[in-house]
Amino acid sequence: MIRRRAFSMIEATMSIVLLSGVFLASAEVVRMVGLSRAIGEERARALAVGQDLLQEIAVLPLGTHPVAVALDNTPVSRAAFATVYEYSGLVDSPPRSRDGAALDGYSGWTRRITITTLNPETLARSLGPGTGVAQVLVEVSRGNRVASRMSIIRTSSWDAVRFDARAFQSALTFTNPPVSTPPELP
Amino acid sequence: MSTRHSIRCRPGTAYVFLLGTALIVTAAGFAAVEASMSEVANHRLRAAADEARLLAQTGLEVAMARIAGDPSWATSLGAGGTIVSNEAVGRGTITVVVTDPVDSDPAVGDFDPFLLRSSATVGSAVRIAEVELQRRWTPLPATQTAVHAAGGVTFNNGTGITADRAVSSNTGASATSASIGAPVEVVTSASGSMYSGGLVEGVPAKTMPAGVIAQYAALATTITRGSLSAGNINRRLLSPAVNPYNASLNALGIYVIDLGNNDMEIKSSRIFGTLVIRNAGIVKLKEGLVWEPAFVGLPSLLVEGQLWIEGNTDNLIEGMVGRNLNPASTPYKGASNSVPADTYPSRLEGLFYATGPITVKQPRPALTGTLVSGAGVLFEDAYSVTYDTRVEQWPAPGFRTGPEYVMTPGSWKRIVP
């Protein structure tokens, strides 16, 4: 009787083990890629919806520092908001456009705005009355997970420049001085 | 034998095939991971760029807050004109630099525009925003009149005044047999009925300058009363480049004289500068006087005391004075020479201010500019004032408020480096 070697059996077993390992690893990679893509997409959407709100705020004048900040105002429409400080403490859930229409695909998302008065010299938080400088922080979260945080600083000094500029542009009354003007005097 | 042969020839191709397949699947997996990572990195880069763009705007806002909050900001900039230096905001940093496109020095030139360049960095993304701003000063309303008095304005006996801007008073006016062609504005009321140029009662009081004598004296070069001829200025040229009384010059043309409560006459002279006269009894501006500030944006005369205008119709004639009054260092309206052969019309230009009463005794020298008194103004003769719009367009320190800052139209830029 001729003794047959079991090489093909071992080979098949090893192959199955190897293939299983490879496919398991591949599945994990696919899962991670999917997760990463989902996180990236969520982050991109969070940034987009956050920046959208920041840009809405950035064009408004700073306004006056409120005596008490409402922490849970959730207005349907922000159309009447005329100053930055009116957004203080806003919780926008689900996110809505300025006129109150809910944004598509953002169910379960929340935008929170925190406005902090800053010292203009140090940019540290100021606990006193309005300094004319405020940091606007927009935090976008999905469920309980914060997907993005972004902030800008708004100042009443810049408002004076921008809004005066409109009048200036329409009046066009200012011209450069003639030949000799004095150096700056104390 | 044949069976042994077949066993020996088995090549193990399935094993190789499977290993090859595993290799390909692994490579594909790595490629997928790499592509996904790349996509995430792109998302992050785009997000960083958007955030940097917002922070560049934030930099301009912070710089503006510091400028508005510090009147001496232009003299306290950091190296290279830095006003915000690599300061952290959110995930990024901002740096703002101020430059002066006129003379490269933001601290020089009250009316120079300046450029704010804000650079924001978030991760590897850098965004720049740039804007040019102008300083805009608001003149005190008192200097936007032909004549203004903190006290009353009196027109006496057949005299009159013509002016293309108002003669105004923070109290009232009275006219006795006078002919007044200029518009008159008073806070309270006016007596008499000769206001042919128009009369408005009940206007708001106009803010008066405060502390300007000391402010300008601090910038001035001193001329002692003892160095003057008989305590008067007569037949002289005074300018940033010419001081006939001592060797000290003042680049702005500002000179101060303390009269120690004595009177003083100024006549037959050319003054191209600003004169500050302290502790004056009466300063009398006489005939043959040609006067203008050395720089637009500075006053011509500041008197701590009384001021009289009482010149005759004589012009300023170099031949009579015996001096050349328009040398190369001090041209007259752009013209200069080296011989004393010119004649100049006697004329005052610019802002003339006295803390005490101003009296117009005679109708010369005529004024193109503004008269402002911290007390009352009395007209005892006819007088003509043509308002000089440069007084309000480039108001002098102490006679203005501000500055406010306005954006130069079209100067806003976003730059992607």
In tens digits, chain A (186 residues) has pLDDT values of 556 555 677 777 887 888 888 788 888 878 887 887 788 788 888 988 998 898 899 888 898 876 555 555 555 678 888 899 889 888 998 999 988 888 998 999 999 999 999 998 888 888 777 789 999 999 999 999 999 888 999 999 888 886 554 444 443 333 344 444 444 444
Cβ A160–B393 below 8 Å, yes or no? Answer: no
Instruction: Look up residue B293 and give its two tokens.
Output: 């500030």
Cβ B62–A155 below 8 Å, yes or no? Answer: yes
**pLDDT bracket for residue B84 (50, 70, 90):** very high
Residue-wise pLDDT tens digits, B159-170: 678 999 999 999
Which residues of chain A are within 8 Å of residue B91 when distances are taken between CB atoms? 150
DSSP-derived 3-state class of residue B405: strand
Does the pLDDT of residue B50 top 80, yes or no?
yes
Q: Where are the domains of chain A?
A: 38-163
Q: What is the mean pLDDT of chain B?
A: 90
Which residues of chain B are within 8 Å of residue A33 when distances are taken between CB atoms? 32-33, 36
- Partner B, chain A 39-58, Cβ-Cβ below 8 Å: 39-41, 43-44, 47, 51, 54, 58
Cβ B64–A158 below 8 Å, yes or no? Answer: yes
Long-range contacts of A126-135 (CB under 8 A, 24+ apart): A129/A65, A130/A64, A130/A65, A132/A62, A132/A156, A132/A157, A132/B65, A132/B68, A132/B69, A133/B61, A133/B62, A133/B65, A134/A62, A134/A65, A134/A84, A134/A85, A135/B89
Which residues of chain A are within 8 Å of residue B57 when distances are taken between CB atoms? 58, 152
Residue-wise pLDDT tens digits, B203-230: 999 999 999 999 999 999 999 999 999 9
Which residues of chain A are within 8 Å of residue B219 when distances are taken between CB atoms? 185-186
Residue of B nearest to A156 (CA): B65
Query: Is the model more confident about B147 or about B19?
Result: B147
Which residues of chain B are within 8 Å of residue A136 when distances are taken between CB atoms? none
Does the pLDDT of residue B9 top 60, yes or no?
no
Which residues of chain B are within 8 Å of residue A6 when distances are taken between CB atoms? none
**d(C-alpha B122, C-alpha B55), whole Å:** 9
Does the pLDDT of residue B406 top 70, yes or no?
yes
Does the pLDDT of residue B118 top 60, yes or no?
yes
Residue of B nearest to A29 (CA): B29
Q: What percent of chain B has pLDDT over 70?
A: 96
Closest Cα in chain A, distance from residue B43 (Å): 6
In this prediction, residues B322-343 reach a mean pLDDT of 93
Residue of A nearest to B67 (CA): A157
Q: What pLDDT score does A47 carry?
A: 86
Q: What pLDDT score does B289 carry?
A: 96
Which residues of chain B are within 8 Å of residue A132 when distances are taken between CB atoms? 65, 68-69
Pairing mode, if any, of strands B221-222 and B254-258? parallel
Pairing mode, if any, of strands B167-169 and B147-149? parallel
Q: What pLDDT score does A178 carry?
A: 44
The predicted model scores a pTM of 0.74
- Give the distance, in angstroms, between the CA of residue B127 and the centroid of all CA atoms in the same chain: 32
Handedness of CA B375, B381, B387, B391 (dihedral sign): negative
Residue-wise pLDDT tens digits, B378-402: 999 889 999 999 999 889 999 999 8
Beta bridge partners of B275: B255, B301
Residue of A nearest to B91 (CA): A150
Beta bridge partners of B400: B139
Cβ B110–A182 below 8 Å, yes or no? Answer: yes
Query: How buried is residue B62: exposed, middle or buried, by Cβ count under 10 Å (0-12/13-18/19+)?
Result: buried
Place of tokens 């590897």: B124
Is B14 in the A-facing interface, judged by CB distances under 8 Å? yes
Closest Cα in chain B, distance from residue A79 (Å): 23
Cβ B61–A182 below 8 Å, yes or no? Answer: no
Does the pLDDT of residue B341 top 80, yes or no?
yes
Does the pLDDT of residue B414 top 60, yes or no?
yes
**d(C-alpha A124, C-alpha A133), whole Å:** 10
Across the interface, of B19, B57, B107, the residue whose CB is closest to A152 is: B57
Query: How buried is residue A13: exposed, middle or buried, by Cβ count under 10 Å (0-12/13-18/19+)?
Result: exposed
Which of the residue ranges B71-75, B249-253, B319-323, B367-371 would you say has the lowest mean pLDDT? B71-75
Query: Is the model more confident about B16 or about B72?
Result: B72
Residue of A nearest to B253 (CA): A182
Across the interface, of B40, B394, B404, the residue whose CB is closest to A40 is: B40
Residue-wise pLDDT tens digits, B269-287: 999 999 999 999 999 999 9
In this prediction, residues B289-305 reach a mean pLDDT of 95
Q: What pLDDT score does B264 carry?
A: 97
DSSP-derived 3-state class of residue B193: coil
